[in-house]
A and B are shown apart, each in its own frame.
Chain A
C-alpha cells in the first residue's frame, strides 16, 4: 500500500504551507498569552503575512506549475493575486487594531481566523480542481462566519452571522451540486480535464449546462450579485466594522479568481451559456445596487449596495470575452475584470478605513451623519474620503475611473453597446450617493466635534491608501499592464 504513496511537490504551495504552520503556531502561542501580551500575537501574524509575501515573491518564476495530482496550480496570476491579498490583509489588520482593542475584540481567535481565511483565499486563488476551489471557499467562509460573530454579545452581529451562515451554506451546496454534474458529464473535476473533455466533445452538454447554472449561482452568491445579494447589506451592517472591512476587500480577489478558474479555464466552451447568465446578473446588480444605495442612511449599508453594483461591473467585464474564439482573444475582458477587482479592493479598504478612523471607544461612526463637516475636523482625511468617493463614482483622475473605463472598453468591444450605456446611466445614479458623502463632509457643519485620534501608522497608511487611489489614476498603466501580463502568462 505504502509503496504507491508519492510525496507531492510542495514547492509551489510553499506560501500556503508556511501560513498554515504559522497559524497553528500562533494559535498555540496565544493560548499562553494574556490580553496585555496580545501584541505578540499581532506581531507574529504580521510576520507570518510578510514572510508569506517574501516566499511568494521568491518563488515567482512565471511558470505554470501543477502539483498535488493537478489539484493545485502556481502561476503568475496566482502569485500576483496572492501578493495583493497579503497586502490587503495587512492593511485590514492595521486599520482594525485600535477599533478592536477599544472594544476588547482583539482576541487571539481573531488573528488565527483571519489567517485561516487568508489561507482559504490562497487555496481558492491557486485552485486547479473544482474540489480545491470548494475546500478553499469553505475554509474562507467558515472563518468569516465566526469572525462576523466575534462580538458575541452583539445581537445584530449574531443575527448577521446566522444569516450569512445559512445563506452561505446554501450557496456552497448549490456550488457543490453544480460540480457534481460537471463530474457526471465529463468524468473529471480537474479544471484542465474538464476543458479537455469539452473540447473533444465527449461531455454531455445538457447536464453540463444544468450544472453550470448552479455553479454560476454559487459564484454570484459569493460575489454578492443580484439576485443572490440579500446577505450583503445585512452582513456589512451587522458585522463589526473591521470584519466588514475584511469581507469587503480581499475575498473579492479570491472570488474573481475562482470565477476565472471555473468559467474561463474550465468551462470556456460553454461561454455562450454563462455569458448570458453573467449579463443578467451584471445588469441587475448594477441597477439594484445603485438604486438601493440612495435610500441608505447607514454608510456601511450604503457601501454594501455600492459593492453590489461594483460586482456588477466586474461581471460585466467577465461576460465580455469573445465567444467561440481562443480564450487569449478575450484577454482584454478578463484583464479588465482583474484590474477592476484590484481597484475595488484598494478603494474599499480606504473607505472602510476612514469609517474606522472616525470610530472610537463606545462610538460607531457608521451613519452618514457622522461624516458631517469632516472637512472642518480634519481637512486631510476629508480629502482622502473625497478622493475615495469620487473614485468609486468613476470620476477621473482616480483609479475607479480607469477601472470602469477598461470594463466599458471590453464590453463595447464585445458588441454590448446597449449594456454599456445602461451601465453608465446607472453609474450616473450611483454618483448621487457618493456625492452626498462629499456634500456632508464639505458643505455641512460638524455635529460631532470630537478630535480624531488615531495612531500615526494608521494615519500614514490611510493617507497612502488615498494617495494610491489618486496616483494609480494619474499613472494607471502600471497596474493595468501588470494585470494583463499576469493573465497573459497564466492562460
Chain B
C-alpha cells in the first residue's frame, strides 16, 4: 500500500513553520497560522489510526524512495503498532503547546511557534523513519529547535540548561552514528532497519552495539545515572518546551530501544537485561525519593518523569507481552499526564512567576476550577485506578511479577512513592490556609486554560477507563517483536 500520509505528517508542520516565520512581528497572525498548521498536522495523522490494520504486525503506510543512492540510503517511512500512536500523540500535543503559549509568549511569537512546529515534524520523522540514517538525521536535528526554545524563552539559567541538554544528547547520538556505520558495513551496504533486524551478529559486536545504542537512548530516556540534564532542562524551559520534552522527547529514547537495541542485538539484550532492570529499578525507587524532597514544582515533576520512564525501560527488559505493552501504555499515558502537570505548573507560574512550592498554599480557595484539574492529574500521576496512569503501571507490575516476584515487588513501591511525592506537593500547593497575599489575589483559569486542561482530563480519564483502543493497535506488533527477540541471532 502506498500513501504519502507519513510524509505529510512530517513536512506539513515543517513547511508550515516557515509560513509562521513569515508572519514576523505580527503576533496574532503568527498565533493563528501556527494553530491552523498544528490542526492540519493533527488531522493528517488521524487516517493513520483509522486506516490501521490491527491484525498486521509489519510496517504499514510504507513509503520508499531512494534518497542518497551513493550510500544506499533510502527515504523509507512506515509505522507499526508501536510507533503509530506516538505520531498521533505528538501531533496532538503540538496543538496544546500552541494554545498553551498563546498569550504567555509575547516575545518573538512567530519564532516560538515555528520552532515547535518544526520540532513536531522532526519527531514524526523519528517515529516513522525505517532507514537508520534517516532516523539519525531526524533524531539529531530535533536538538536544534529544542536548544533554541530552552535558550531563547527559558528561565534565568537557560543558557546552562540549553548547552547541557544539547551536548548531553549529542554525546549519546554520536556513538550511535559509529554503530550505524558499522552495521551498514556489516550488512553489506544497507541502512534498512528491517533488514538489520534479520542480520546475524556475533556476541561481542552485539554487546558493543547494544552499549552504543544504550548510551544514545539512555541519555534521551533518561535513565539513571545520565539523567541529570533533564531536571535542568525542564526547570529552565518555557512551559511548552517542558511539555514537549516530557510528553514526546523522552519517548524517543524508549522507542529507540524497541526499534534498535532489542531487535538488532537480542542476545546482548538478554545478556545485559539484569543490568537494565537494575538501572530501571534505581530510577523508579531512588529517583522517586529524590522527587520527594524537591522544593521546585517543575523539578519535582521532572524527577517524577524519570521515575516513570524507569517503569518503561523495566517493562521492555522483562521480555513479556504484558511488560512491553504496559510500558507502551505507560509512555502514552505519561505523555498526557506529564504534559498536564507541566501545563498546571505553567498556569500557576504565569500568575505568580514562581515555581517554588513554598510560595504557594491554599490555591484551591482562589482557583477552585484549576484545583479540580490539578488534583485529577496528580492522581493520574500517582497511578490511581480509573486514570491512565494506573493501566500501564499495573500491566508492567503484573509482567514483572511473572518474570520475578521480587522485581515486581520493588517496582510496586512506585505506587507508594509516586503517591507520596505527588500528593504531598498537591497538599502543600493547593490545600491548607491561603499561604500569602499573592495567592489571595490569584484569578481562576481562563477559557483558554480551561480548554487545554479539559482536553487532557478527558484523555486521561478515557484512557484509564477504556484502554482497549490503545492496546488493540499495538498487540500484533508487540507479539511479533517478542517472538523476534526470543530467537538468537548468533
Contact = CB atoms under 8 A, between A and B. Distances in A.
Contacts of B178: 408, 412, 417, 420-421, 424
B162 A425 contact: no
A21 interface: no
Interface in A413-427: 413, 417, 420-421, 424-425, 427
Interface in A430-459: 431-432, 435, 438-439, 442-443
A396 B140 contact: yes
Given A425-B174, A427-B174, A420 B181 contact: yes
Contacts of B167: 428, 431-432, 435
A477 B70 contact: yes
Contacts of B170: 395, 428, 431
Given A395-B143, A443-B151, A417 B182 contact: yes
A219 to B, nearest CB: 27
A413 B71 CA distance: 12
Contacts of A477: 66-70
Nearest to A481: B70
Interface string A399-411: 0011001101100
Contact of A484 (B70, B151, B162): B70
Interface in A373-416: 375, 379, 390, 395-397, 401-402, 405-406, 408-409, 412-413
Interface string B160-189: 001100110011001101100110110000
A476 interface: yes
Contacts of A424: 174-175, 177-178
Q: For chain A, what secondary structure do more than half of its interface residues adopt (helix, strand, loop), or is it mixed?
A: helix
Contacts of B184: 409
A396 B171 CA distance: 15
Contacts of A431: 166-167, 170
A253 interface: no
B171 A428 contact: yes
B422 interface: no
Contacts of A413: 185
B183 to A, nearest CB: 10
Give the interface size bracket for A toward B. 20 to 34
A397 B166 contact: no
Contacts of B182: 412, 417
A431 B143 CA distance: 12
Contacts of A402: 68
Nearest to A483: B70
A420 B180 CA distance: 12
B158 A396 contact: no
B152 interface: yes
B213 interface: no
Interface in B134-169: 136-138, 140-141, 143-144, 147-148, 151-152, 158-159, 162-163, 166-167
A239 interface: no
A481 B69 contact: yes
A42 interface: no
Interface residues of B, number: 38
A442 B151 contact: yes
A480 interface: yes
B131 to A, nearest CB: 13
Contacts of B166: 431, 435
Nearest to B212: A421
Contacts of B152: 375, 442-443
B82 to A, nearest CB: 24
Nearest to B185: A413
A405 B177 contact: yes
Interface in B11-63: 21, 24
Contact of B148 (A409, A442, A481): A442
Contact of A480 (B24, B70, B181): B70
A436 to B, nearest CB: 8
A397 B136 CA distance: 10
Interface in A24-44: none
A435 B70 contact: no
A427 B184 CA distance: 22
A375 B110 CA distance: 13
Nearest to B171: A428
Contacts of A443: 151-152, 158-159, 162
Contacts of B108: 375
Interface in B392-426: none
B111 interface: yes
A405 to B, nearest CB: 7
A6 to B, nearest CB: 43
Contacts of A435: 147, 163, 166-167
B180 to A, nearest CB: 9
Contacts of B181: 405, 408-409, 412, 420
Contacts of A476: 68
B179 to A, nearest CB: 10
Nearest to A440: B159
B159 A439 contact: yes
A420 B174 CA distance: 10
Nearest to A420: B178
A390 B145 CA distance: 12
Interface in B343-377: none
A390 B118 CA distance: 16
B122 to A, nearest CB: 9
Given A379-B111, A412-B178, A428-B171, A390 B144 contact: yes
A413 B137 CA distance: 21
A480 B162 CA distance: 33
9 closest A-B pairs by beta carbon, nearest first, are A396-B137, A424-B174, A443-B151, A477-B68, A480-B70, A412-B181, A396-B141, A442-B152, A481-B70
22 contacts: A375-B111, A379-B21, A396-B137, A396-B140, A396-B141, A401-B137, A412-B181, A421-B175, A421-B178, A432-B167, A438-B147, A439-B151, A442-B151, A442-B152, A443-B151, A443-B158, A443-B159, A476-B68, A477-B68, A477-B69, A480-B70, A480-B71
Given A428-B170, A438-B147, 16 more contacts: A375-B152, A395-B144, A396-B141, A397-B137, A397-B141, A401-B137, A401-B140, A402-B68, A412-B178, A412-B185, A424-B175, A424-B177, A435-B147, A439-B151, A477-B66, A477-B68
